Structure 1
């Protein structure tokens, strides 16, 4: 974890104070010059700051420092093992790396285990020693030590770890420990004050504060978690520590930051406590956490797709591929469907879908609100288990395009159909104009256009002729399927 705090709150407070002065001054001027009864001035509401010291005093003792030790394998390559070559020679580094990769006489280099140490944070959720932290804090750890604020240290046991949500549960042999109260993430609002307590760079019980920037953020490679975004300073060692609201309740677990420099740049992310508690309860009961699986690949719905599929606004998760025999396939989902709601919960961004599905238990029955070929449909699905088969939920990037179609097409030969594992489709022999700008390439297989299977060149011409602003092409390339939006008007 890494972070740093840069906030214009001082300026905001200064402007607020100026607003109060202005309002009072204007009121006095009106009162002094009014004919008849003076109108009392209405003072602007005062800006009050939360008492972070009281929250810290009350909650600090339940936040712990976590030290881990483990090992990693390193090659025993030697820089001095290149006789007769000057270290300043431009080719020295090349041969050094080559020797390190191959070892003497082309053999693999010798390896040895080197000790590795790390630090993180955590917090106590049960007086008998249950502690929550990040999975990446204790990953590959051979020994985990928990240090309390009263300087007592305990050897901790890792009860379980879930990499999909980055949650780990520890247990120490102690009783009557201080604990933190748990809040409700659904009640959390953007702009609300929050603070973090942790051990950045090993500085125990460090307090940083900020505001909630947004909720429900989906991040690349973290599709199971609808993150809380804040501007609270999070740095290495803060990982696993609590994010606390002004009522002293834990609303999240600080997990990671967004940074181009490697240091804090004002954007940090926390795992909602609701997600963490679900995982914790499963790990305590069974030693592992399970997640549901729908079995679809989805991508974002942009304005071009919305125009193509006649959606009122660019929201939802566009299904680009359905896993054969999976829960989605059995429920009747198809490529080109746009999932707009799950059990009444709106899907605004495509990242909302995997986060929502991943929090449900395998075997759960859900209701999907789907947009298909210009009409709303309702489907029911029984979710599978993500641990039984790798989750096929993926978020693909859309490609932009514009103008006319510009494709040279021909029917697939029987052998090409078998190689591509498709029943129908058209081979794209050449792509030019807006189709090429949209990312379509020669050798792609056109499977569908605006959700309709592409069976003939005449059919494609007909669909393009009826289209208004844009069309959506479902193509297959190297075994992967993706929708590509192409503007034609």
Structure 2
């Protein structure tokens, strides 16, 4: 069984060699020779092939537009032997005013990395500590100094610098980033116009078409590789909008953010990831297509952020078993598992159990298609969708809203049932909360994100990460259901509301005092 890993092509410095430290060279096993027929008067000329004799002209003209990007961040604070509280507490606080304590603490300090008395190999000295640093690639799309790269190249950076092919270094500021597609836009202030590249049409690229990649692998800079498009529309599970071009052009760590060209000298992809066991090139690289990257970069330049459409449904694939159970001819479409309250989908009449098969006349093969199409819709637009319900097609119209960032979604929808007197702060289930609290994909309900100390909820044993799945006698889909149950219990003059609390694999009914 072969274990393969997906690597972003960014490598923190210093770059360490692959295990074994040796560079492998692969030689062709042999040449296939065939006799050449002698030319005759009757032999017709072979049809011309659309093959480049050389990529030298493309490389010469586009290399100056590709830059090396250095991103750095401040190091974490140095460790100390004493606690940060300054009260003298520490690992040897059980020895107050003892010479033995002074000796042990001094010994600990000497063993810490960075101490001048530390033994050899114990770590770098303070003057050797530098900020975290990473290398990547980018390309210039405007003579005024706008540079495209990957989000993961500059994510978390305090300082970003680009190096041109003429060795000039320019400080860059981050105009905007889009982590969901791994794109970022930078701006530098040049003293004269910079050479640029232009976007091309990635939708027109076919499997087998020639491509050229330029970038900064392993910090070497100015490296040109060539290959073909190996596959299209690859979904790697790296994000909700995956639509990668796959290529066998050599892409390595440090190529991240560099351009992929067609033979018209146009950028049809942004190199982003490799598929490899060792982290080195094995002939499987991935680029974000220009059809996706171009509009996002334009929006980052205009607004500094990306706006996306929002439908308000939780969806899942339609497998063969589900297709049979729903009497569908083909196991395609996106099955609606849940519809958020007051969402565009809810207002349009979409129901749990519907299978979305079309969006604005385009077929939906699976959840990924619907997610991408909704995201590309403009907030305020009206979309036509077709759903299968009870074995029949049902046309619906939905007015798309704007997808809010996860933090804003949580802040906007968090609720404190009972006007906050219960001590619970609840939020709707989101992918971010599932990840933060390690919640299963099939878990539904309202998530406890905060519990006030000494509150009824705290005394009843509630903790952040708990999920309330039932309130009273009703299933809970979001925090509003819990608030409703609390209000009903108070109107009925009950002093408690019964909540079903789920924690890991356990579920427990808890009678929460209303206060």
Match of 2:409 in 1: 389
Taking the aligned partners of 2:80 and 2:276, their CA distance within structure 1 comes to: 33
Taking the aligned partners of 1:248 and 1:479, their CA distance within structure 2 comes to: 56
Higher mean alpha-carbon deviation, 358-367 vs 146-155, is at 358-367
What pairs with 1:102-121 in structure 2 (closer than 5 Å)?
A: 115-121=131-137
Please give the secondary structure, in 1, of the residue aligned with 2:158.
Answer: strand
Please give the secondary structure, in 2, of the residue aligned with 1:73.
Answer: coil
Q: Are 1:372 and 2:375 matched, yes or no? A: no
Once the two structures are TM-superposed, the CA of residue 312 in structure 1 deviates from its matched residue by 2.8
Please give the secondary structure, in 2, of the residue aligned with 1:223.
Answer: coil
Decide which structure has greater strand share: 1
User: Would you say the 8 A contact 2:253–2:280 is kept in 1?
Assistant: no
What pairs with 1:195-234 in structure 2 (closer than 5 Å)?
A: 195-234=212-251
Per-residue CA distance 1:369-415 (angstroms, 9 max, x = gap): 222222222221122222252696899989xxxxxxxxxxxxxxx97
Q: Are 1:274 and 2:291 matched, yes or no? A: yes
Once the two structures are TM-superposed, the CA of residue 154 in structure 1 deviates from its matched residue by 1.0
Taking the aligned partners of 1:130 and 1:294, their CA distance within structure 2 comes to: 33
Please give the secondary structure, in 1, of the residue aligned with 2:338.
Answer: strand
Once the two structures are TM-superposed, the CA of residue 202 in structure 1 deviates from its matched residue by 0.6
Match of 1:160 in 2: 176
Taking the aligned partners of 2:339 and 2:78, their CA distance within structure 1 comes to: 43
Match of 1:357 in 2: 374
Match of 2:264 in 1: 247
* Structure 1 residues 347 and 303: alpha-carbon distance in aligned structure 2, compared to 1, 3 A threshold: same
Q: Are 1:187 and 2:204 matched, yes or no? A: yes
* Structure 1 residues 349 and 43: alpha-carbon distance in aligned structure 2, compared to 1, 3 A threshold: farther
Once the two structures are TM-superposed, the CA of residue 304 in structure 1 deviates from its matched residue by 2.4
Once the two structures are TM-superposed, the CA of residue 132 in structure 1 deviates from its matched residue by 0.7
Match of 2:306 in 1: 289
Please give the secondary structure, in 2, of the residue aligned with 1:210.
Answer: strand
Please give the secondary structure, in 2, of the residue aligned with 1:320.
Answer: strand
Taking the aligned partners of 2:381 and 2:75, their CA distance within structure 1 comes to: 40
Per-residue CA distance 1:63-112 (angstroms, 9 max, x = gap): 1111111124367278xx999xxxxxxxxxxxx9xxx9xxxxxxxxxxx9
Taking the aligned partners of 2:159 and 2:322, their CA distance within structure 1 comes to: 51
Match of 1:404 in 2: none
- When the two structures are aligned, how many residues end up with a matched partner? 367
What pairs with 1:409-488 in structure 2 (closer than 5 Å)?
A: 418=473, 420-421=475-476
Match of 1:34 in 2: none
Match of 1:173 in 2: 189
* Structure 1 residues 293 and 267: alpha-carbon distance in aligned structure 2, compared to 1, 3 A threshold: farther
Once the two structures are TM-superposed, the CA of residue 117 in structure 1 deviates from its matched residue by 0.9
User: Would you say the 8 A contact 2:240–2:371 is kept in 1?
Assistant: yes
Q: Which runs of 5+ in 1 are unaligned?
A: 29-37, 84-95, 101-111, 399-413, 423-476, 481-489
Q: Are 1:2 and 2:16 matched, yes or no? A: no
CA root-mean-square deviation? 4.1
Please give the secondary structure, in 1, of the residue aligned with 2:174.
Answer: strand
Please give the secondary structure, in 2, of the residue aligned with 1:258.
Answer: strand
Per-residue CA distance 1:227-256 (angstroms, 9 max, x = gap): 222223222211111011122110111112
Match of residue 162, structure 2, among 146, 164, 167:
146
Q: Which runs of 5+ in 2 are unaligned?
A: 1-7, 11-17, 19-23, 82-89, 93-107, 113-125, 411-428, 435-439, 443-468, 478-500, 505-515
* Structure 1 residues 179 and 368: alpha-carbon distance in aligned structure 2, compared to 1, 3 A threshold: same
User: Would you say the 8 A contact 2:137–2:149 is kept in 1?
Assistant: yes
TM-score for both structures, normalised by structure 2 = 0.62
Q: Are 1:314 and 2:321 matched, yes or no? A: no
Once the two structures are TM-superposed, the CA of residue 319 in structure 1 deviates from its matched residue by 1.8
Taking the aligned partners of 1:115 and 1:419, their CA distance within structure 2 comes to: 54
User: Would you say the 8 A contact 1:227–1:270 is kept in 2?
Assistant: yes
Greater RCO (Cα-Cα under 8 Å, separation 6 or more): 1
User: Would you say the 8 A contact 1:294–1:393 is kept in 2?
Assistant: no
What pairs with 1:13-52 in structure 2 (closer than 5 Å)?
A: 49-50=51-52, 51-52=54-55
Once the two structures are TM-superposed, the CA of residue 41 in structure 1 deviates from its matched residue by 6.7
